[in-house]
Amino acid sequence: MSLITEILLSALVLAGAAFTLIGSLSLVRFKDFYTRLHGPTKASTLGVGCLLIASSVYFSVTGDTLSLHEILVTLFLFITAPISAHLMAKAALHLGLR
C-alpha cells in the first residue's frame, strides 16, 4: 500500500471519528428534541459515511477486486437517515412536542 493511500485512509478515519464524536456530543449538549435530532442525523451520517468509504478503499486496495459493499451501505445510509429524521420530526410536530 502506498503512502498516499495510507494518508487518505487516515484522513477518512479521523474525519469519520470526528464527525461521529460531534454527532454524539450534540445529543448531550442540545436542549430540545428538534436540535437533538438534527445533530446526530447530519454529523453521524457523515462520520459513518467517511468510515465506510475508508473501509471500501482499504479492501479495494488490499484485495483482488473492487469492494462495493461499503459503498452500497453508505448510499443506503445517506438515503434513509434524512427520511427517518424527517418522519420523527413530523411525528413530534403532530404530537405538539415543543
- Confidence check: pLDDT of 95 > 90: yes
Q: Residue 97 in contact with residue 35, Cβ under 8 Å?
A: no
Query: pLDDT tens, 36-59?
Result: 888 888 888 899 999 999 999 999
Give per-residue pLDDT as tens, 75-93.
Answer: 898 899 889 989 999 999 9
**Dmax (CA) of the chain:** 55
Average pLDDT (14-40) is: 89
Whether residue 98 is predicted with pLDDT greater than 80 in this model: the reply is no
- Domain spans of the chain, in order of start: 3-95
Cβ neighbours for 15, distance < 8 A, ≥ 6 positions apart: 47, 50
> What pLDDT shows up at residue 3?
93
Contacts of residue 56, Cβ cutoff 8 Å, sequence gap at least 6: 67, 68, 69, 70, 71, 74
Mean pLDDT of the chain: 90
Whether this prediction's pTM lies above 0.85 is answered by no
Cell 475508508 -> residue: 54
Instruction: Give the pLDDT score at 97.
Output: 83
For the chain, give me the number of helices (H) and strands (E)?
3, 0
